[in-house]
Structure formats: C-alpha cells, structure tokens
A = this chain, B = another copy of it.
Amino acid sequence: MRHSLVLTAGLLLGCNAWAAAPNNEPIQPIPPAKVANPAKVELGKQLFFDPRLSKSGIISCNSCHNLSRGGSDNLQTSIGHNWQEGPINSPTVLNSRMNIAQFWDGRAHDLKEQAGGPIANPKEMAFSHQQAVAVVSSIPQYREAIQKAYKTDKVTIDAITDAIAAFEKTLATPNSRFDRWLKGDQQALTQTEQDGYQLFKETGCVACHNGPAVGGNSFQKMGQVEAYKTENPAQGVAGLTGKDVDRFKFKVPTLRNVELTYPYFHDGAYWKLEEAVDVMARLQLGRQLSADETGKIVAFLKTLTGEQPSFALPLLPPSTADTPLPQPFH
C-alpha cells in the first residue's frame, strides 16, 4: 500500500522531480526553525543586539554576526575592542545550530559555549562574564525576562548565554531556490544552476559540503592536495591539540547563504565566490576548473541563499543607576 502511494506520487511529479527527491541527494533542505521556548528566544534576541555586553558599550553579537548581512560582518577579520584586528574571519551565525561544533577550530561544543567566548575575549568584546552578569542584573526588564524564561531570580552567565543560543537556534534560512528544487519544483533552478550542482557533485566539493547546511559537519585540512598560503597565523585544530596532524584543520563552513558571507575562508582572503571555488578545487581536490565550470558552480551556490530571519528590530531596556558604565576609552 505504502509502495503504491509512493509510485503514484513519483508519476504525478514526473521523473525528474522524483530524481531530485531529497533522499537521493547529498544535500537536504534546511528545516525551518523551531521555537521551543519563546521567552528564551525573545530574551536572547535582545541580548544578541545589546552592546552593553561589551566593555565599550558599542560591540554586540550582531556587530560581527550582522543579521542584516547574512549573519556576518563581511570583513576579512572582525574589529574588536579598541579597534583590534581580529584573528580570524567571523563565521555566519545563520544555521549555525547545525554545525558539528562552534568556531573555526570547533573549540566550543555548542552555541551556548560559543556565546560566552567573544564576551570575555580581550580582543573582541573585552568584557568578563561577571561584568555581563552585573549589567543584565541591573536592568529590571532583563531580570523579569530571566524569571519568565528560567524561573529564577538569579542572573547567571549560564542563563545569558543559553538565551543567546536559544535565539541563534531560530536563525534558519529555509526555502532557498535550491531547497525548492530539492523538494520537486523543477522551475526553481535554471539549467545553468542545475549544471552547476552536477559539477559541484562530480568535482567532489560535495564530499565535505553536504547535509542540510552544505557543510558544517566535519573538520578538514585546508590544503589537502596543495598547501594553502596565508599570512593568518591560525593553526586550526592544532591550536587546541598541539598535534601536527591537526595543523590547518578547520571546520568545513556551511555554504548556505554563501553569496552573503564574503569574504571567504578562515582568513577572509578571497572576496569573490569564483576565486573561492577555484582555490578549493585546486587545493582540496587537485582539479583545475574552467571559467565556465566555475561560473556554473557559482550560479548553483547562489541558489543556496534562503529566506533570511525576519523580526522587528529589538528594543533594549534602558540602563539604571546600578548599571556599570561603558568604558570605551579606558
């Protein structure tokens, strides 16, 4: 019975549509975000946009993971407290819940652990967890929101980062043209874009860039076939393990919304998708693509831009007499 229903569906959709069914492809559609706890998400959204979690009072999560710009800052490396040059390209927060781990070297187990990093990093927000708690504690609207979401009077960095992570988990980008095509809408992609997807698979890109996030689910050495040349000192996973075998091993970035998240690679050295595709093909796969092939793959990659999270700009509750003052110039 089930079998015949499936066959009927296949016939109705036509042969090509059937071939494109998600279960036959190494890339699956991005599922829409689920909001498990709206109170946590609303609190986390405010905190994500609140620059009072930084020493200067001007840097928020959204500064480097700008949700107006694909969840990134579109800089080679970010600008931190006192205009310090960041060590590495800021990865997009979009769909980041699907990453195997967080940061390029995977040093944070999940989004909650990640959220605590930049707050306390002297090169980024240059604050401390204790100071962040002091800021949030001083604002009655935040205390009420924490009470509502966590059923406690006590403000902790745990609650702050958990709420930020709860918000970030909602930042999915479903219904890209590619996903609509995966689901059977043959009109969603042009022939060039479909050719690009075939090339993406045949060239071997899909070996690492697969799954719903088109990446984010493994660590790979940058420069498998040919060494990657960069002035950026980041060592990847080796920076954590100290093992030579982990040198230049980085989390494979998601390619979802890659059209928006330039510049590319951990050092942000390449601004154009064509360049990034060419470098990857040569260094990771030993393949020299023609300009035509690169163009087709880029055309495919641009179909991965999904619906961006849409919400009202959050309004932040005002500071009180108890709120620690920002210290931008100290």
Contact = CB atoms under 8 A, between A and B. Distances in A.
Contacts of A319: 74, 262
A56 B69 contact: no
Q: Closest 8 interchain pairs by CB?
A: A83-B83, A68-B316, A313-B313, A260-B318, A308-B315, A310-B312, A82-B83, A58-B79
Contacts of A83: 82-83, 328
Please give the count of copies of this chain that the complex contains: 2
A259 interface: yes
A68 B50 CA distance: 8
Contacts of A321: 272
A219 interface: no
A204 interface: no
A57 B74 contact: yes
Contacts of A87: none
A85 interface: yes
Contacts of A329: 85
A150 interface: no
A51 B83 CA distance: 15
A312 B126 CA distance: 30
25 contacts: A49-B68, A50-B68, A51-B66, A56-B75, A57-B74, A57-B75, A58-B63, A58-B73, A68-B314, A68-B316, A69-B316, A70-B318, A75-B328, A83-B83, A83-B328, A85-B328, A85-B329, A259-B318, A260-B318, A262-B318, A262-B319, A311-B313, A312-B312, A312-B313, A313-B313
